Amino acid sequence: MISVVKAATRWAFCAAASVVIFAGIASARSTTNRPASIVVWPKIVVDTTGAWGTPTDTKLMLSSTNPSGIKQAHCFYINATGHCSLNNAVACRNSLDCSLREAGECVPSWSETDFDVVLTQEQPLAWYASDGLARGQFPLEGPFRCNAPFNNFQCFTDAQCPNGVGCNSGQSNLGSAIPPAPEDPFIGALVCVQYTGGSQSVPDQTATRNRLYGDATIVRLLEEQADPARYNAIGLEASGQPVQDGRLVLAEGGNYASCPGVLILSHLFDGAVDPISNTPAVQYGTELTLVPCSNDFLTQTPGRAVAQFLVFNEFEQRFSTSRTVDCLFDSVLSRIDTRNPSRSIFSAGVAGSLAGQTRIRGVGGVPPLGSGLLGVARAVLGGVAASSAAYDLHQQGNARSDLIILP
Amino acid sequence: MQLVKRSPWLMGLGVLLAGLVTAPGARADVTSDESGTLLIYPKVVSDGARDTLIQMSNRTNSVVMVHCFYINASGSCSATVDQSCEIDADCPTSETCIRQCNATNFELVLTAQQPVQWRVSTGRLTTIPSAPCRPGQTCQCTVDSSSGQLVCPGMLIGQNNASFVPPVGTDFVGELKCYQINADGDPLPGNALKGTATIQDLGTGQISEYNALAVAANADPVNGLNSDGELRLNFSGSGAGELNYCPQSLVFTANADGVVDSFTGATITTELTLVPCSELLEEDVPAPVRLRFVGYNEFEQSLSIEAFSFECFLNRGLANLPVNNGGIFVNGNQDLWKIRIAPRPVNVCYTGSNRGGSCSSDADCPGALTGPAGTPLGCLPASGVLGVAEEFYSNNGLAGTAAFNLRHEGSRSGFGDIITLPE
């Protein structure tokens, strides 16, 4: 009987230990499902003239779920557009964009532009990255302005506004200005941090934190139709711990949720024939975009990490490769490890099967910044002019610690 | 007979390690970016005009077994049976919309970290393994001449002598649910599954892709997921409970239906797909859903649909919410809508002669059934919902498409939701 009790005690101890460890593991990390206090759009493309191929723009949405009162978002456009070494006027994403114009190599660059957006309660906002939103274009210009489209009329009562649009004497988007993307063509990212608003605005760790979410639709204008690809922006929830000295710590016990330890990408290998049409000319390709979780906006130092890729095919075989993510990494999968896509471990011919699963882990990092990564994928069916679909990556585990330093 | 001695220390350690391997590592939510034990693809279409490519993978280094069921949700009016419908309002007066809501089961085995894919209309034949693709060669599936199903390079292992992922044909709209099982076929809280679905227009080749929704299970051997034939979505992250609660509400931002896109000139419409968190597969009865929609436009104006009902599955354009061509989240009511969808806090009879009727106790639900584990399926909270949305950018008679996952707010509480499993 005693031994039974002892056994039960030991078992209970182990079970309790496991619960403790579960609790340790069960900390928050980035999310594409819940509203949060930091919102990251990893991929924004503007190419309205089609300099990089198909005319493209990105529609961005930012929404507040706050049921009462305004919320301010302080946002940073990260411009990762490179320029060709032999012709600085030619913008590029990679060396291919330059070699096609005999303009040398693509020289990467990084700069940020910050701005504020004030959202009223439960308000959704949308804008094209190429345009932004200027004073006069916000829905609720106020205070004491008629509602759109008569924002230029000052008012104190509804009767003073034409067509019954009403006079806004309550919450408004006053203080907001969203600049257009700093160049066209443009590739980059956007990071918005929820602030408390008001005269002493600070990163929001109040009871009404975690009230923002975002969406992006990369819209391509094909010859006869539009090709939209929409993804959920990634959120990092605030913990409630006040931010010190403009340093946002993304870690367990920090100010915000951790970045993921591993990103997991489901994909068909590049060159895999579409199983639905099963026509050899209709093949899949996948673009992967990665951005570092960490950024130093104070000293204008982008986050940097090495992305380690573990690639699994349907035969349970494993391949691996790695690439440096410096500011923003955007590539077709089969150009990650080689300049000859047909010999890539991401090509269907090399992988041997149609479906793949790639695990991506950020390592290295430049202290004090961390090595966490965020990303999004875009599946492309049938070559450059064909259709596409963006989707969020899966995630597993927590990165150790990341840091965003505000200016 | 040899008596096997079990070390409680080792057993406890096993529990610990199992927990380490299987712990979802996140809050007790339904997610679309984590792995889980229960995987839900809310929108699967194979209707002759569109088809769906399913991708599923195992994120662990162990072999996992999976039980799946397609739920065919095509509906027709109760008397005018040739008329398809989503809700009762789609049918002539005094008729109701009857959903098929029947399940087709199959099982799979996924090896460590293995991804698999299949085309929904044709399914895929088991291949253990078929020849791999080679560099320089076209890498594609072939069509099996006798069955019409796809045979693809890669290893796809059927479970329990099942030979394939079954085809659903070209008259299917509904959902796919899969859950992890052990060798006995009982639910296993491994939290290893994740997936994506790609819906493709067969005419234009336009694709849209979303992540399947994953529900993590409680791996506690005493208070967690068990094998009683009922999957209960009643876990809050601590204590007892089987699978994470469904969300308290869903929220998403959509272009107002019919608005014209300034960049492409396309007219944008949005289709919303919702599925109940509760599913009575054993009883073959659709779960009743009662919802409230509240929308906020960019001017902070609010419109709502207070009492919206459906069963089994809803796939509907915003222009048709709440009724056909009577949508409120449309272009005339501004350009942008943030829409929150929440189950109404009411109790409904799940089974019995008053099925679908409001109730305050099981006595209001005469003839109500009980679940495989004895849970009364009488007066229960109206089911939670999960879903996905898809945008259509239409110009020149052609539509570009983009699917996206909805946001989740909070978690349900109390009873939660229930899925009864067929024996």
Model confidence over A147-186: pLDDT tens digits?
A: 777 877 887 788 888 888 777 777 888 889 999 999 999 9
CA dihedral A336, A341, A345, A349 (to 10 degrees): 160
Instruction: For residue B221, say if its preceding peptide bond is cis, omega within 30 degrees of 0.
Output: no
Confidence of residue B165 (pLDDT cuts 50, 70, 90): confident
Put simply, the answer to whether B154 touches A124 (Cβ < 8 Å) is no
Contacts of B207 in chain A (CB under 8 A): 379, 381, 387-389
Q: How confident is the model at residue B27 (pLDDT cuts 50, 70, 90)?
A: low
List Cβ neighbours of B335 (8 Å cut-off, separation of 6 or more).
A126, B255, B256, B259, B297, B298
Mutate to test the interface with B, among A316, A318, A340, A343 (most CBs of B within 10 A): A316
- Structure confidence at residue B128 as a pLDDT band (50, 70, 90): low
CA distances from B12 to A6, A19, B19, B23, B62 (A): 13, 11, 10, 16, 20
Q: Does A15 touch chain B (CB under 8 A)?
A: yes
Q: What is the largest CA-CA distance in chain B?
A: 79
Examine the pLDDT at A10 and tell me if it is beyond 80. no
Which chain B residues touch A148 with a CB distance below 8 Å?
299
* Chain A residues in contact with B298 (beta carbon < 8 A): 123-126, 139-140
Domain ranges of chain A: 28-138+173-405
Nearest to A219 by CA among B406, B260, B393: B393
- Taking residues B305-320, what's their average pLDDT? 93
Please determine, for residue B368, whether its predicted confidence score (pLDDT) is greater than 70. yes
Chain A CB contacts of B150 below 8 Å: 275, 278
Chain B interface includes A29 (CB < 8 A): yes
Stretch B163-170: mean pLDDT:
83
pLDDT of res. A25: 36
Residue A304 DSSP SS3: strand
Q: Please tell me the predicted confidence (pLDDT) of residue B331.
A: 86
Q: Is some CB atom of chain B closer than 8 A to the CB atom of A342?
A: yes
Q: How far is B257 from chain A (nearest CA, A)?
A: 15
Q: What is the pLDDT of residue A135?
A: 84
What residue type is A351 in one-letter code? A
The string of DSSP letters for A165-214 reads --EE-S---TT--BPPPSSSSEEEEEEEEEE--STT--B--STT---EEE
Asked if the model's pLDDT at residue A109 lies above 50, the reply is yes
**ipTM tops the 0.85 cut:** yes
Nearest to A109 by CA among A91, A127, A134: A91
Q: Measure CB to CB from residue B409 to each of A65, A224, A388 and give the nearest one.
A: A65
Contact between A32 and B262 using a beta-carbon 8 Å cutoff: no
Cα angle B111, B113, B117; round to 5: 80
In this predicted structure, which of A40-54, A354-368, A379-393 has the lowest mean pLDDT? Answer: A379-393
Q: Is A202 an 8 Å CB contact of chain B?
A: no
Q: pLDDT by residue (tens digit) across A24-46? A: 334 578 999 999 999 999 999 99
The residue with tokens 């701005």 is A115
A349 CB neighbours in chain B (<8 A) are 133-137, 139
Q: Give the 3-state secondary structure of residue B265.
A: coil
Distance CA A165, CA A159 (A): 9
Q: Do B202 and A10 touch (CB under 8 A)?
A: no
Q: How far is CA B248 from CA B53, B342, B393, in A?
A: 30, 6, 30
Q: Where do the structural domains in chain B lie, given as residue ranges?
A: 24-121+168-346+382-420
| CA dist., res. B249 & res. B341, Å (int) | 5
Q: Round to whole Å and give the CA distance between B207 and A84.
A: 33
Nearest CA in chain A to B213: A33
User: Checking DSSP bridges between strand A111-119 and strand A71-79, what pairing results, if any?
Assistant: antiparallel
Residue B356 falls in which region: left (phi positive, over 0), alpha (psi -120 to 50) or beta? left
A-chain residue closest to B335, CA distance: A126
Cβ–Cβ contact A174 with B under 8 A:
no
